[in-house]
Every structure is written in C-alpha cells, then in structure tokens.
C-alpha cells in the first residue's frame, strides 16, 4: 500500500474504533450506577467488550503509521476533540435507563450489520477483528432489543419514557451511514463496508423490534451530523476531560 | 495471523497445562482451548494465545503466567496474541467442561440450545448445585464477559452459566 492509502486505512480504523471507544466510555460511567445490579453488570460488560475491540483496532492503526509516538494509548487518550471521528449518537448522555437502552439499540443494530460485512474485508486483520467482535455484538443486540421490547410493552410509564428516548435519538441514526473520503477510498478497495448498502436492512431490523415493542416509529426527517468530520456535540468535551484526565495529568502513566 | 488448527509440541504440553485461567482457577488454559500454538525454535518457546472475549482482562495475566511457568523450567517464552480464527466454546475440552461443572459453572450448551436458554424459551440449563433444570436466567451478563447469571428454582441457589460462543 502507498503512504496515502495507509493514511486512509488509518483514518478508517479510527472511524470504526472511536464509535466503540466513546460508547464504551459512556457505558463505563454507569459502573456502580446502573438501575439494578444485573443491568449495571450487563452495561459494563458491554463496555468491556467494546474497549477490547477498540484495542484491536488501535493496535493495528498504530502499527501501520510510521510514527513511533503513535500508540494505542496515544490514540485513545491524547487526541483533541476534532480528531475523534465517532458519530454523534454514541456521545449522547445516559440521561436515564430508557435513553441508555435506546442509544445502545440504535448502535447495536448498526454495529452488527457493519461487522457482518466487515468479515468479508480484503484486509485480513480487519476481517479477523470483525469475526471476533460479531460474536460479542450479537449478545449486545440481544440485550438491547430485549430491553426495548420490555420497556415498550411494559407499563404506561416505561412505554412513554422509552418512546421519548427513541424519538429524541432517532435523528442521530442517519449519520451512522455517512461516508467520509477515507471511507469511500476503503470501500473502493474492498477493505471497507459500504454503509449505504446496509441502510435498508438496518431500518428494517430496528423497525421490527420497535413494532413488537408497541412503539411508534418516529417520523422526523431531520438528521444530526458532524461527528464523522470531527464536529461534535457539546457533550464530547466533558467525555474527553473525564477520559483523558489521567494521561494529561500524569503523562505516560501506566497501570 | 490465521491459525486454523492447534499446533502444540508434545514436550511443552505439561508446562502449559500447569497454567490455569486466573478467573477460573480449576481450569487449565489448555482445557480452555486458548493456546493455539506452542513451538520451540532455537531455544525460545513461541506461544500463540487467543482471547475468549476481546476485552478479556485475563489475557495479559495468562501471558505473564505462561512466561513465568517456562522460566521456572529454564526456558524463555514469547507470547503472541492472535484473533483468528476466533475462539469458540467448542474448544473447551471434555475435561475442561467437567472442571467447570465441578466448580459450579454450568458448561456451555450447543449454539441453538444456548439461544433458547438465554431467551428464556426453554428450561435446559442444569443447576450445578442440585442438578435440576428448573432454572431461569437472571442476567445475560454475569461476573465475567464469558458468563451469564442463572438461578435455580428448585434449590434457589444462583449459579453461573458459561455462554456458548460460536
């Protein structure tokens, strides 16, 4: 691969990994704060799976860039806000259990379909990471879609609250399918996933669950975007200050 | 990084078997199926291990434990972490499954049965305490990434179930 292509691959890897990194961090905030012991453990388990996957992507991303200063840790902890390429959905706050579940549900469906395609990547390492991760992500999807049904088809209170969360987060779903220049380059080379090709399956997959949960499908056609270009919502700075505090205060610290 | 079959030189097996899973101490890493290759080249033992789950925090400890087990035998070991092919619960040996059960962790069912059990459609996970299948899922996620939490309705004891991963 040429240097330019390696840089695109590097950017592409960060784009995938940042989604899981920021969502993992959000879920990590719930450690010790989950609504019940079981959900607390479940959400942090999911967070751990995501961080494990992120490490695989970052290690690979660090390896292909000709700069000794770039390591998996520097990628996670030392970039500035504009350099993170995650979608806006994953940085949205936990708000309440309904929001936490709706955000997870919207992401898991995408994550599952995305990895299923990534398994066929021409890049051997990416295909291996995808094959490993999809097993974990199918459990995540089972957990979040199960909760969508329980809350939607539960009491009036749980129904109304999960409906509100679904309505509020719906407008962040379209960005999951946006393609940056690096994405397009990787798709052309058979390395990346053509997100537009999985969009239809995505909305079918989530609509089926929402209907079973007796929830209304939001009609809003307004879509938020910007995260993939590094333009984040106001929440991102707070996440990063939590996440980066130790590395910024004690540079190069290790556990 | 692809390794389709397990390749372990017989003279290294005993030392690897002596290393146990830090989270399930009754289980040898060999019975767990995480060691994919162990070969001795020019006096250096090269070991390839694969994680059960991507974020499994036990992997670093397992790597360190293998190095120190070989060091005790006067050998230098080098560890490499591989992801492909992805670990599956099918690689847990029959001896490993028995060790799990004896320890109080229900061994993984087949993929289809596992789905039914975790969706709560069928009562098929056997209580490790009293053997009854009158059990129910408490949480799909348990004390570690690889386990789910169950409770027995017959003896009322909670127990872990090792989730099927295929």
The per-residue pLDDT string of chain B (166 residues; one tens digit each, 9 = 90 and over) reads: 344 578 999 999 999 999 999 988 889 999 999 999 999 999 999 999 999 888 888 898 999 999 999 999 999 999 999 998 899 999 999 999 999 999 999 999 887 888 888 777 788 899 999 999 999 998 888 888 889 999 999 999 999 999 988 7
Where is pLDDT greater, at A55 or B119? A55
Q: Is B58 in the same domain as B112?
A: no
Last residue of a domain, one of B64, B88, B112: B88
Q: Is B77 in the same domain as B143?
A: no
pLDDT of residue B4: 58
Contact A16, A55 (CB under 8 A): no
Contact B85, B109 (CB under 8 A): no
What's the total number of domains in chain A? 1
Which residue does chain A place closest to B52, by CA atoms? A132
For residue A178, tell me if it sits in a domain: yes
pLDDT of residue B1: 38
Query: CB of A125 within 8 Å of any CB in chain B?
Result: yes
Q: Is B12 in the same domain as B71?
A: yes
Note whether A55 contacts B145, CB cutoff 8 Å: no
Cα dihedral A120, A124, A127, A132 sign: positive
pLDDT single digits (tens) A12-26 = 999 999 999 999 999
pLDDT of residue B69: 96
For the beta carbon of residue A101, count every other beta carbon within 10 angstroms.
Answer: 24
For residue B96, tell me if it sits in a domain: no
For residue B97, tell me if it sits in a domain: no
Average pLDDT, chain A: 96
Note whether B83 contacts A124, CB cutoff 8 Å: no
- The Cα A134–Cα A49 span in angstroms is 11
For residue B69, tell me if it sits in a domain: yes
pLDDT of residue B127: 95
Q: Is B120 in the same domain as B82?
A: no
Report whether pLDDT(A150) > 80.
yes
Query: CB of A25 within 8 Å of any CB in chain B?
Result: no
Residue identified by tokens 């291996």 is A128
Q: What is the pTM of this model?
A: 0.92
pLDDT of residue B121: 79
Q: Is B17 in the same domain as B69?
A: yes
For residue B45, tell me if it sits in a domain: yes
Nearest to A48 among B1, B145, B149 (CB): B145
Residues of B in contact with A45 (CB under 8 A): 141-142, 145
User: Between the CA of residue A198 and those of A118, A143, A183, what are the distances in Å?
Assistant: 12, 22, 14
How many CA atoms within 13 Å lie on the side-chain side of A68? 0
Note whether A38 contacts B141, CB cutoff 8 Å: yes
Q: Is B75 in the same domain as B117?
A: no
For residue B36, tell me if it sits in a domain: yes
Nearest to B54 among A38, A127, A133 (CB): A133
Name residues 67-106 of chain A within 8 A of B (Cβ).
none
| Residue burial B97-120, b: 16+ Cβ < 10 Å; e: rest | bebbeeeebbbbbeeeebeebbee
Residues of B in contact with A41 (CB under 8 A): 139, 141-143, 149
For residue A254, tell me if it sits in a domain: no
For residue B98, tell me if it sits in a domain: no
Residues of A in contact with B143 (CB under 8 A): 41
Which residue does chain A place closest to B82, by CA atoms? A128
What's the total number of domains in chain B? 2
The percent of residues above 70 in pLDDT, for chain A, comes to 100
Q: Is B16 in the same domain as B83?
A: yes
Q: Is B12 in the same domain as B79?
A: yes
Which residue does chain A place closest to B83, by CA atoms? A128
Note whether B141 contacts A128, CB cutoff 8 Å: no
Q: Is B51 in the same domain as B113?
A: no
CATH number at residue A50: 1.20.1260.10
For residue B73, tell me if it sits in a domain: yes
For residue A255, tell me if it sits in a domain: no
- The Cα A122–Cα A170 span in angstroms is 32
**Interface ipTM above 0.90:** no
Residues of A in contact with B163 (CB under 8 A): 139
Note whether B139 contacts A133, CB cutoff 8 Å: no
Give one word for B120, left, alpha or beta, with left for phi > 0 and alpha for psi -120 to 50.
left
How far away is chain B from the Cα of A189, in angstroms, using its nearest Cα? 21
For residue B1, tell me if it sits in a domain: no
- Residue-number span of the structural domain to which A182 is assigned: 3-249
pLDDT single digits (tens) A191-236 = 999 999 999 999 999 999 999 999 999 998 899 999 999 999 999 9
- The Cα A64–Cα A122 span in angstroms is 16
CATH number at residue B79: 3.30.300.130
Contact A72, A62 (CB under 8 A): yes
For residue A64, tell me if it sits in a domain: yes
Q: What is the mean pLDDT of residues A186-192?
A: 97
Report whether pLDDT(A131) > 90.
yes
pLDDT of residue B2: 41
- Residue-number span of the structural domain to which B144 is assigned: 104-162
């Amino acid at each position: 691969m040429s240097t330019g292509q390696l840089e695109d691959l590097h950017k592409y890897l960060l784009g995938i990994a940042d989604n899981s990194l920021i969502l993992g961090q959000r879920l990590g905030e719930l450690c010790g704060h989950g609504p019940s012991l079981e959900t607390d453990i479940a959400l942090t388990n999911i967070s751990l799976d995501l961080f494990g996957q992120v490490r695989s992507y970052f290690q690979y991303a660090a390896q292909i860039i000709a700069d000794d200063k770039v390591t998996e840790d520097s990628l996670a902890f030392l970039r500035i806000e504009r350099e993170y390429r995650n979608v806006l959905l994953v940085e949205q706050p936990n708000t309440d259990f309904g929001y936490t579940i709706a955000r997870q549900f919207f992401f898991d469906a995408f994550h599952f379909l995305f990895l299923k395609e990534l398994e066929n990547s021409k890049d051997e390492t990416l295909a291996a990471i995808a094959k490993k991760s999809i097993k974990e992500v199918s459990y995540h999807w089972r957990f979040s879609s199960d909760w969508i049904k329980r809350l939607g088809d539960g009491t009036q209170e749980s129904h109304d609250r999960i409906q509100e969360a679904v309505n509020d987060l719906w407008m962040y779903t379209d960005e999951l399918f946006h393609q940056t220049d690096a994405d397009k380059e990787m798709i052309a080379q058979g390395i990346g996933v053509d997100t537009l090709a999985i969009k239809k399956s995505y909305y079918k997959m989530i609509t089926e669950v929402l209907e079973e949960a007796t929830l209304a499908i939001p009609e809003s056609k307004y879509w938020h975007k910007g995260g993939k270009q590094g333009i984040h919502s106001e929440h991102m700075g707070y996440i990063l200050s939590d996440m980066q505090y130790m590395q910024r205060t004690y540079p190069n610290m290790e556990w | 990084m692809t390794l389709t079959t397990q390749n372990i030189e017989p003279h290294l097996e005993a030392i690897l078997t002596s290393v146990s899973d830090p989270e399930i101490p009754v289980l040898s890493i060999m019975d767990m199926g995480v060691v994919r290759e162990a070969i001795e080249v020019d006096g250096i033992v090269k070991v390839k291990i694969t994680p059960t789950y991507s974020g499994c925090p036990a992997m670093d400890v397992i790597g360190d434990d293998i190095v120190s087990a070989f060091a005790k035998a006067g050998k230098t070991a080098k560890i490499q972490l591989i992801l492909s092919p992805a670990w599956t619960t099918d690689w847990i040996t029959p001896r490993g499954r028995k060790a799990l059960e004896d320890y109080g962790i229900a061994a993984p069912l087949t993929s289809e049965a596992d789905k039914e059990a975790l969706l709560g459609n069928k009562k098929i996970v056997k209580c490790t305490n009293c053997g009854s299948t009158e059990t129910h899922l408490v949480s799909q996620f348990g004390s570690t990434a690889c386990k789910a939490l169950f409770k027995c309705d017959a003896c009322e004891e909670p127990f872990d179930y090792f989730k099927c991963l295929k």
